[in-house]
């Protein structure tokens, strides 16, 4: 991670000099299907050893971008460069990419060993070299004992590990992963995420990972590309996207958030009768707007001018509690430590403050 960040910083420097050092560079990519759906004007640089995640709701265009990189779809316009060279004219098998799909696509009649060796045989590698590479790849995905088994004898998670090993063996310049863990149960999905991250650190491989699961994206990525309706909505680090969402869509898609209808006069923002921002540090044009506050950024206060509300419900969830508050026509969620929750009960009148919030000139529907 640190290494990747360092690489990114170096890259920022070179990009400013107009140099192309990116491992993968997508430039103004557009692909519109006959139905009118697709993606428009996607530009993205992925640095060597970086894990970039395409995140967004179903139908936003994640797979379209990934398939274009892998050569399974021909873009209408734009360019795709890998290590500085356009790959647009190359068929999928000639591109320096490998793809891992949601369905594992293993050959059922071949052993794990043969499934893995197949791609290398086609590439006419020597037998001893193939044996060694396959053994190493199986070790990397923690399946050393499974070489003689058939895919049908393995669990879903194990089959996906084999599919991952097969892709890694091709030593692609860019590894493409399209929702590889979405068929697995929640616990296994979390384990696989950690393993993939470890493999990436060990191999230094550049990866583009697709998911519609925001938690998966936040936990696994160096940077996240949030997509919405065929366009890039925001591109930044997980922390930045969580703390500084660039649009109302990003704010509401990523993490839990309270959205409050509010009004701006160009300098101050009011929720109901209370002004919540005096300093004018965020400039929001006059008119209706939306305040977005994370549940962990709400607190109970005694300050006289703060928002007044009533507790509706207190739910203890392990080490913290989720408190529902009815406040200025809105239902807010607040996270508090478990000890504090013991003093709270439904029907209680409270005053609410915000540690921080983001204001958007858009109005939530
Ligand atoms: N071959 C195709 N022909 C026509 N429309 C398509 C085709 N492939 C994708 N689309 C449309 O393009 C849009 C983007 O599809 P895409 O598969 O890239 O979405 P996605 O973000 O991967 O969604 P999901 O999370 O459901 O996999 C969708 O509206 C989809 O219906
Ligand atoms: Mg998809």
Domain boundaries, the chain: 22-249, 256-360
Q: CATH second-level architecture of 22-249?
A: 3-Layer(aba) Sandwich (3.40)
Contact (CB, 8 A) for 50 and 24: no
pLDDT of residue 303: 87
Mean pLDDT of 129-150: 93
Highest mean pLDDT among 2-16, 66-80, 177-191: 66-80
Ligand nearest to the CA of 60: 1
Determine which residue's CA is closest to atom 18 belonging to ligand 1: 61
Q: What percent of the chain has pLDDT over 90?
A: 73
pLDDT of residue 11: 42
pLDDT of residue 212: 92
pLDDT of residue 281: 60
35-45 pLDDT tens trace: 999 999 999 99
Lowest mean pLDDT among 129-143, 158-172, 259-273, 288-302: 259-273
190-217 pLDDT tens trace: 999 999 999 999 999 999 999 999 999 9
Determine which residue's CA is closest to atom 27 belonging to ligand 1: 58
Determine which residue's CA is closest to atom 11 belonging to ligand 1: 37
Q: CATH second-level architecture of 256-360?
A: Beta Barrel (2.40)
Residue 59 CA, ligand 2 centroid: distance in Å? 7
Q: Which is nearest to 52 in space by CA: 246, 245, 236?
A: 236
Q: Which atom of ligand 1 is nearest to the CA of 39?
A: 14
pLDDT of residue 14: 40
Give the torsion through C-alpha atoms of 201, 204, 210, 212, to 10 deg. Answer: 20
pLDDT at residue 19 above 70? Answer: no
State if pTM tops 0.95: no
Average pLDDT, the chain: 90
**pLDDT category of residue 344 using cuts at 50, 70 and 90:** very high
Pocket lining: 74 vs ligand 1, CB cutoff 6 Å: no
Mean pLDDT of 32-56: 97
pLDDT of residue 10: 41
Which residues, 6 or more positions from 148, have their beta carbon under 8 angstroms from its beta carbon?
111, 112, 113
Contact (CB, 8 A) for 245 and 254: yes
Residue 185 CB-density burial (10 A; 0-12 exposed, 13-18 middle, 19+ buried): exposed
**Residue from 30, 57, 64, 68 whose mutation best tests the ligand 1 pocket (most atoms within 8 A of CB):** 64
**Residue from 30, 36, 54, 62 whose mutation best tests the ligand 1 pocket (most atoms within 8 A of CB):** 62
CA distance 81 to 174: 11
pLDDT at residue 328 above 90? Answer: no
261-272 pLDDT tens trace: 999 888 888 888
pLDDT of residue 329: 84
pLDDT at residue 18 above 70? Answer: no
Mean pLDDT of 287-296: 93
Structure-block tokens of residue 233: 């909505």
Residue 54 CA, ligand 2 centroid: distance in Å? 10
């Amino acid at each position: 991670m640190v290494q990747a960040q360092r690489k990114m910083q170096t890259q920022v420097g070179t990009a400013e000099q107009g140099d192309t050092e990116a491992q993968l560079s997508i430039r103004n990519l557009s692909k519109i299907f006959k139905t009118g759906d697709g993606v428009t004007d996607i530009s993205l640089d992925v640095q060597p050893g970086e894990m970039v995640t395409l995140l967004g709701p179903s139908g936003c265009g994640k797979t379209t971008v990934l398939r274009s990189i892998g050569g399974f779809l021909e873009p209408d316009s734009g360019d795709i460069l890998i290590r500085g060279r356009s790959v647009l004219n190359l068929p999928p098998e000639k591109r320096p990419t490998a793809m891992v799909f949601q369905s594992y696509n293993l050959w059922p009649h071949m052993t794990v060993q043969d499934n893995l060796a197949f791609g290398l045989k086609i590439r006419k590698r020597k037998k001893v070299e193939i044996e060694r590479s396959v053994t190493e790849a199986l070790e990397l995905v923690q399946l050393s004992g499974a070489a003689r088994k058939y895919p049908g004898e393995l669990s879903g998670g194990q089959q996906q590990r084999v599919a991952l090993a097969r892709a890694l063996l091709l030593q692609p310049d860019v590894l493409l992963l399209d929702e590889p863990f979405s068929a697995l149960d929640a616990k296994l999905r979390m384990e696989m995420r950690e393993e993939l991250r470890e493999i990436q650190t060990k191999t230094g491989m550049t990866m583009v990972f697709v998911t519609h699961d925001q938690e998966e994206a936040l936990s696994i990525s160096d940077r996240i590309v949030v997509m919405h309706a065929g366009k890039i909505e925001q591109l930044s680090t997980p922390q930045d996207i969580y703390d500084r969402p660039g649009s109302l869509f990003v704010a509401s898609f990523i993490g839990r958030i309270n959205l409050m209808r509010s009004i701006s006069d160009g300098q101050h923002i009011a929720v109901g009768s209370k002004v919540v921002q005096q300093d004018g540090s965020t400039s929001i044009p006059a008119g209706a707007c939306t305040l977005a506050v994370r549940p962990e950024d709400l607190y109970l206060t005694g300050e006289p001018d703060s928002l007044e509300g009533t507790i509706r419900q207190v739910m203890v969830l392990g080490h913290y509690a989720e408190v529902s508050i009815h406040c200025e026509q809105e239902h807010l969620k607040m996270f508090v430590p478990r000890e504090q929750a013991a003093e709270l009960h439904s029907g209680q009148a409270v005053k609410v403050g915000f540690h921080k919030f983001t204001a958007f000139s858009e109005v939530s529907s």
